[in-house]
Structure 1
Amino acid sequence: MSTPSILSSPKVARFPFPSSEELQDLPSTLHQPKGFPGSGLSKENYNADAYTEPILEKGPSPPSELRQNLFMIFITVTQLVQMIPLGVGINSGLAIGEALGAPHISSVWIVASYPLTQGTFVLIGGRLGAVYGHKVMFTVGCIWWVVWALCGGFANNLVSICIMRGLCGIGGGLMVPNIVALLGINFPPGKKRNLGMGLFGAMAPVGAVGGSLVGAVIIQLSEWKWVFLWLGLMGFLVYGAAIVIVEQDEAVDPNGSIDWVGAYLGVAALILFNFVWNQAPLVGWSNPYEIVLLIVSALHFAGFSYWEAKVAKEPILPFNIWKSPSFGTLMLVTLFSFMSLGIFFWYMNIYMQTIRGDSLIKVGVQYLPLTIMGCANAFFAAWLVPRVPAQVIMGIGCSAMVIINVLLATVPAHLTYWAMCFPAMFISAYTIDLITTSAQIVASNTVPMEHQGVAGSLVGTLLSYGMSIGLGFAGTVEVNTFKNGTDLLRGYHSAAYLAVGLAGTALVLTALFIRIPKDTREGWGEDQAPEEI
């Protein structure tokens, strides 16, 4: 049985019935509109009191099963494409930086620039979708992404390539929360939504690893610039098809306003804080502007919190979403988890390239266990959500996060891939998919329909921004432990131990404070359904 789109559900309306006295001035035969109770009755036998039942105003027909399936496939495949630049940066960041004449430690910006803006602008992307329509903002994000992906191929130095990737990431930031919102709005809580979120979660590792491998092939066989031209072409084709397939939705808050002051304070705080930590390994904390910008970012965070809580009439992050049980802790666990995961991916990658001497293509192939198992585990997470409490799913993901970083922190310089790297890659599939999919489903099921974009914004922000800021923290640890570049492996191990600490903290928080029962609902609850008109 197909699940009708919530936007196509019938609206309840009441017709303004005239009283019996008012009928005295009407003709003896009433020519009433189709669907009016008592149509064709004469005024003599009309009894106004007999017709007080509500009339269901006929809405658009529910989409067919085929249309729903096409919508789900194409809207989630866009997630795959917009995750590819992350994989390209992780695997090919060193090679691109070397081609541009950038030092080894500076190449981390090629990786961090995309998830930085992607995660930051997710914050405002969900609210823009609520006011102007989620498909509208999804379309804007797609077009913006394609333009700046193509422009990346024309960069000629480290600064310009990072700017292009950062601008491309803004498109991803606009897309992600609106993809999640469109899934959450069109599919009420239940099996269909869980399947959609499972597909969405599966696309993250597939896109990242696929980008890692394809980007490596292109760079090794030709020139790195062709990677960005390929991204632009693929985005044009996939996003174009998705825009055609996804039906226009009605804005859930069309009369609302955008809190531009809160948006500025939140986005500026996140960008400044991230910039400080990712720049610190390059210039050191003795540089005055590092301290100044860190203070400025802290002031922006404080200003954002005050403005949203006390001043804003329509805040970007409605504070009532934090009232849901364990919601705040769930978000904190998600942040720590993805800080840890970003560190693992980057340092496992450069370990294989710089210590083991593996080629870009070989590294990309060695990530395939993550892709294969990641696809399966995304659906496994969707299957688990209605069967076990959320803390169990999150606990499994956090435990896997601890294990893979312990393996990275202890791997020796000369050891076969199959001994420690392969198990780490295999187990890593139980991190991103279980945590992302369960967090998205739980967050989406926790909030009402009008806050679906906000829920998508929060999880999306924590995923991408967490990966980026984690690299900044790890880079600081690395440069202070690698003995001026003479012991690279020691620096990588130290960064991995930081990731172990972050993952361990997430695991403890999950075990002690997250209490979200399994969700077995099918359909909207009374407190989540859209209001009847």
Structure 2
Amino acid sequence: MTDVDTDKSGDGPDYDVQRTQSSTTCHAAKSMGPLREVIFVFIVCMAQFMTQAGLGCTLAPLTIIGGDFGVHNDGILSWFIAGYSLTSGTFILVFGRCGDLIGYRPMFIFGFAWFSLWSIVAGVSVYSNHVLFIFARTLQGLGPAMLLPNALAILGSTYPPGTKKNMVFSLFGATAPNGSIIGAVFAALFSQLGWWPWTFWACAIACAIFALVGYMVIPHIYHEPEHPPHTVKDWIQQLDVIGAALGVGGLVLVNVAWNQGPVVGWTTVYVYVVLIIGAVLLALFFAWELWIATHPLIPLHALSLDVLYVLGCIACGWGSFGIWVYYFWLFLEHIRGNTPLLSAAQFTPPCISGLIAAFTTGYLMSRMRPAWIMLMSMVAFALGAVFLAIAPVAQTYWALTFVSLVVTPWGMDMSFPASTVLLSDAVERHHQGIAASLITTVVNYSISLGLGFAGTVEVHVNRGGKNFHDKLFGYRAALYMSIGLAGLGVATSLVYLVKTKVKRTTPSVEEGKEQPQ
């Protein structure tokens, strides 16, 4: 008889569900030997690693790739990154639901296979034009959209709440800056010493290997959908196809409008039309999810104040980060005149800083309220943006530039594991995919949308960016936007922290009643 069977402290309406989930989860974690578990955690973490590598592999050689295609407009160049983040953020909810119905393991493996295929196409686009490259990058982003929610759901279903789960999730988060940096380093090496398409072909080879190893080491996690579909109608309802179409359509159109506005100008009529249609679709999406959908894509009953607080902070922090990382590279290469390889070398501090931050977060999560951890992460995002925005052009790298690179990863690696563990523990086992989807959707979509906001600010203040000083002024203005978003995250964290502290210290009416003897 297991400990769960003998402990009846959880008797209540949800006790049998919790007991079954806990027993199954513990069995999945303990059935693997030490070596297999190490490989298992490594492969699952590679989902986060390769997602961020897909971002970094375009950042470093951005001007080289743009030069080969004859593209020098910063607004168009931002689409090389924004298109990838757009689909990886927009479709996460859809593929998280697919994982809940089909299984996290098959969706995870297929995600790596898809990532591999469109990485090949991105490299082959060198023989065509930048339109095919952006198209390939956009479809490449569907790979991370499959990988991230299902990777997190696999971990959430395999490990029970506790210190080990906190550390595994922290390790998952720690791979983010390392993936971005290593992806950028290899991209710089291929671009300067070889040929930039090999960046994407190497990515394709790595993803194919990870898919194969994942097939061999990831266990068949017991998975029973809440309402198993049997007919085509059941599948349509379970996948919430109408809700997915409205939500994805709205998110895509709003994002396209914000990222296309700086390129063609906000006076262009179709930009406003696309933005309005996107807003209408999003309004219809929420109406559908609230009042019509039988199996809503987002279980709105799960969006408690805690969940909304986490998502709001994540949106502000990671939107700020998207601006910071894009304009950091432009600052190093266009303002300081660094080569892609030198810029990649200077961008290595987040590898070490991120690991320290992730494991520190894993340690703190069992000893500190999540509100404090989220506040510290938002402060790190804000300080990183401030240090870069005020860094003098001629100042040594070891001053504000280096400090910004050390501080910002603490925002990434404190906010991501804390939020994923919080939501993973807050929902039932068959909703692990949705919990993971909410976080990863907000992270990736905020990066893309933040770039659109910053690009709009830049083009409205840089007077065309025709000389060095105007270009620098535009970059700094975009970074002020990054500071503003992070500052909003800090304010949100402070408000929530005060609110929860008051709630914890104020005795309720029920607590004040005299208890019967």
Alpha-carbon separation, structure 1, partners of 2:157 and 2:355: 24
The residue correspondences of 1:35-434 to structure 2 (distance < 5 A) are 62-66=30-34, 67-105=36-74, 106-155=76-125, 156-253=128-225, 255-256=228-229, 257-323=238-304, 325-434=305-414
- How many residue pairs end up in the alignment? 463
Q: Secondary structure at the match of 1:248?
A: coil
Change (3 A) 1:449 1:482: same
The 8 Å contact of residues 223 and 430 in structure 2, kept in 1 or not, is answered as no
Is 1:500–2:483 an aligned residue pair? Answer: yes
Aligned to 1:441: 421
| Alignment gaps of 5+ in structure 1 | 5-55, 518-533
Q: Secondary structure at the match of 1:480?
A: helix
| Range 239-248 or range 461-470, more displaced | 239-248
Change (3 A) 1:3 1:400: farther
Q: Shift in Å at residue 90 of structure 1? A: 2.1
Q: Shift in Å at residue 478 of structure 1? A: 0.4
| Alignment gaps of 5+ in structure 2 | 5-22, 230-237, 502-517
Aligned to 1:491: 474
Report the structure number with the largest CA radius of gyration: 1
Alpha-carbon separation, structure 2, partners of 1:246 and 1:113: 30
Alpha-carbon separation, structure 1, partners of 2:97 and 2:179: 26
Aligned to 2:8: none
The 8 Å contact of residues 374 and 429 in structure 1, kept in 2 or not, is answered as yes
**Identity of aligned pairs, percent?**
31
Q: Shift in Å at residue 3 of structure 1? A: 12
Alpha-carbon separation, structure 2, partners of 1:243 and 1:511: 44
TM (normalized to structure 2)? 0.86
RMSD between aligned alpha carbons?
A: 2.0
Q: Shift in Å at residue 60 of structure 1? A: 7.9
1:267-310 alpha-carbon deviations (Å, 9 max, x no partner): 11111111111111110111110010000000110010000010
Q: Shift in Å at residue 339 of structure 1? A: 0.5
Q: Secondary structure at the match of 1:437?
A: helix
The 8 Å contact of residues 94 and 104 in structure 1, kept in 2 or not, is answered as no
| Range 249-258 or range 405-414, more displaced | 249-258
Alpha-carbon separation, structure 2, partners of 1:214 and 1:492: 26
TM (normalized to structure 1)? 0.84
Alpha-carbon separation, structure 2, partners of 1:516 and 1:68: 38
The 8 Å contact of residues 357 and 409 in structure 2, kept in 1 or not, is answered as yes
The 8 Å contact of residues 389 and 516 in structure 1, kept in 2 or not, is answered as no
Q: Shift in Å at residue 327 of structure 1? A: 1.1
Q: Shift in Å at residue 134 of structure 1? A: 0.8
Alpha-carbon separation, structure 1, partners of 2:224 and 2:296: 15
Change (3 A) 1:192 1:278: same
Alpha-carbon separation, structure 2, partners of 1:60 and 1:426: 39
Q: Shift in Å at residue 190 of structure 1? A: 0.7
Alpha-carbon separation, structure 2, partners of 1:452 and 1:154: 37
**Which amino acid in the other structure matches residue 130 of structure 1?**
D
Alpha-carbon separation, structure 1, partners of 2:310 and 2:354: 21
Q: Shift in Å at residue 444 of structure 1? A: 1.1
Question: Which among 432, 443, 446 is matched to residue 466 of structure 1?
Answer: 446
1:454-489 alpha-carbon deviations (Å, 9 max, x no partner): 111011011111111100000000011112113111
1:103-123 alpha-carbon deviations (Å, 9 max, x no partner): 231111101111111111111
Aligned to 1:526: none
Q: Shift in Å at residue 335 of structure 1? A: 0.6
The 8 Å contact of residues 198 and 379 in structure 1, kept in 2 or not, is answered as yes
The 8 Å contact of residues 116 and 468 in structure 1, kept in 2 or not, is answered as yes
Alpha-carbon separation, structure 2, partners of 1:64 and 1:461: 30
Q: Secondary structure at the match of 2:91?
A: helix
Alpha-carbon separation, structure 1, partners of 2:418 and 2:354: 14
Q: Shift in Å at residue 185 of structure 1? A: 0.7
Change (3 A) 1:422 1:412: same
Alpha-carbon separation, structure 2, partners of 1:368 and 1:103: 26
